[in-house]
Structure 1
Amino acid sequence: MGGNNMGLENKSFRKFTDEVCSQVKCAEMHEDIKEELNCHLQELEEEYIAQGSTCEEASKLAVAHMGDSEKIGFDLNKIYQRRPDYKTLFICSIFIAIGLLVQFSIYKNAPKIISYNDYMKMIILTILGGILGVVVYFLDYRKLEKYSWQLFIAATILIGLIIFFGKYVNGNRNIIFLGTAFDLSTIASVLYIISLCGLITKVYHSKYGILKLLLMICFSGYSILLTNQEVSFVIYCVLIVGLLMYSGIPKKLILLMLALGTFSICTFIFSATYRFHRFISIFIFARKGDMNMDYVVGKIQLLLSNSKFIGNGISKEVISTTPLINVNFIFTYIIYSFGWIVGITILIMITLLLFNLFKTSKNIKNSYGKLLFKSITLALTIQFLLPIMSNLNLISSLYISMPFIGYNGSSVIMNMVLIGLICGIYGRKNLSKSLASSSSSIVTQPE
């Protein structure tokens, strides 16, 4: 095919695809749509040439065969219209409303537990989290992949801030800013995972990839351990196992890396007695000899045993005598005050939320987006699971709040941003191309 004909072909095809895309509001889809349309046009052109048409005639006939560009664009706009996951937004909105109402009941009946300023601060942080979530939704999530190393460094900086400037608040080492304790360790854990979503297969396919990947995993794990926040470390471990499984790396190599990583981290934990005792306390019923923890465990057990199906009503005494009831043990308070019926309803809603997210992840075409979506879903799962088990006395009492419901400003902001991110991924679920320089680096992921 001569250069002039090729120019004519490109011009006519380009005009047609531009007209189609002018009707599609989701600009991120334009490149994928143009590529697909060009493939169809080229196939039609080849058929007409085989039938004896000239290149110029074949190009025109191919465009004519496709039909009205405006109608095609209108139909494609319906298909590729960017919409958030309304089921996820609806359930999370209910959780936020429940959290604000329950915190208000605590504020009104026990001002010493949560003051007016604390309650207003929670509302402000919730609004801020919502705004950031909306901003993240409108951003093209694929741009995150290009900044994966920067996110890894940012997570490490957060760890450094905790180590050098962190103060213990309610059992956790946090950063105090404007009178609010921010749990940067959990945020750093999630940031490490988000960064590794964009790095894991690139590093794996590079020279000495397995060794580099192992060093990155151990480095981030050690960093989190240095903050003395064992819950954040457990969250990180669960997320890294899930990420390795989702990435499509061969299972034998995953087992090898997990074995080496576990050995290295266990060596670090057992090298100091205090680290061992702090870490193992998560997996036993209560910290032996810790009178404060024994009291909390006993108090939770008492509240659960006295809980009724329709609730006991709000008790000022219970609010005043139960440590951290508005933060870490909010679910126990809900069951005792409003009944098992409300507690079970919340559990059902959490199950529906997580089931919907895991199901939705199968519809994401972009491999990086799918890996990111699944990792965030797993992060939300472990954040719900740990406080629920702790509040039901199934594991040792942990210093971790329930997402959207417990009084924890940094957790509310982080999780609302994560919800905005997965809604953004869902709204662009038909995108297949990567914006990273090496778009083919992600391994095809198993369903």
Structure 2
Amino acid sequence: MITATPQRVSRTGQAGAAYVMLWAFLVLNLAIVELMLANPSRPAYNTLVQIGRVFGMHLAFALALQLLLIARLPFLDRRIGMDKLTTWHRWTGFTIFWLVLLHPTFVMLGYARLENASFLSRIPALGKQMPVLLGMIAAGLIGVIAVTSIRAARRRFSYEVWHTIHLLVYTVIVLGVIHQVYEGSAFKTNNFTQAYWWGLWIFAIGALITGRLLLPLVRNLRHRLRVAAVVSEADDVVSVHVTGRNLHKLHARAGQFFLWRFPGHNRWWQVNPWSLSAAPDGHSLRLTAKAIGRTSAGLRQLPVGTRVFAEGPYGAFTAAARTRQDTVLIAGGIGITPIRALFEDETLSGDIVVLYRVRTPADAVLLGELRNLAALRHARLHVLTGRTGPDNQPFSPAGLLALVPDITERDVFVCGPGPMTNEVLRSLKALKVPARQRHAEQFRLAA
């Protein structure tokens, strides 16, 4: 049996250590940037130019931090979780957007005042200087990425289009580094500043290349993944079974997800995050997806034997996060996939209650498997149907208590549409379920 106390100490300690390292990295580097600003290589021409320089230095660091966040470092991912790291990525992205607006604006205002010229007249003049022009191009690309990240705009694009647009961030980084090296006076202050910036960029770019290119290439060459079977689960839901060599060496866990590509069937940039819908057994992996975008809709036509390129496993939504003996698993719609895998995980011992929210019983994907697992594990399975209304609010505080009276004494794992997940988390907070017992997975993926 798995005892609660050792798990709680281990898991909380791991996540806490990861957050401490992340914040320490942030604070330490910001302190170094402030020291460099306090000792510039040459005085600014005026206050406006100095303010622009301050924004520029912080912009350079924010870009490096963004690289580290999208590098998907295993140390952070396995302790904090991809969805929480993506929240950092999102806020860093919008910070970069505002710094990109403020940095050139103040610099141009400063030079306009210095030369007694208009602000707009400085734009073509600076644009004729190649390092500055590269910075302007990078700023424009950041604007495109930021606009498409706004929720209202995001809903208008398929996931594949949105993801392709966000690949522009790599072009931004290249242009930004060139701009800083050739134009940034703060980069050339002294040997220390040059060593710092080169060290930071080498570390960030090295982490990105290792995490997003080298490690996936090595893993896929080692495991040689192929499609073994394609099974229709419903009219708009399909499962893909993947096999390969030595899959136990992937160390994948129930509740985690991979980024899946199918070379030859889809374009290389078309990648989707799909959870494992069955606990990995060392011999095969299974993903289950609903036909939402072009890639997911095309899974039904995947030929057996198709090559598979997978990045991962990612995510901290696993049984290792438990702090209590008993568990509640809550799913909505296709969010059942990681919940179903967790339900099968043998390390998830104790009493288990599963709450599955769907519009109608016909919408309950993998229901037969869930019922078999419930019988095998002596667990309780509640399929919650119907429209949400005054008389049907299963995820309100009162609704959760009615279904699971001892919910405050359990770990709660929830995965589903954003509004449903947020409602469950609000109710758990209202019921005073400790934060360490609340575990949620939301696919807010970075590029």
Q: Same fold (TM over 0.5)?
A: no
User: Which TM-score bucket, shorter chain as reference?
Assistant: under 0.3
Higher share in strand: 2
TM-score (norm 2): 0.26
Q: Larger Cα Rg: Structure 1 or Structure 2?
A: 1
TM-score (norm 1): 0.26
Higher share in helix: 1
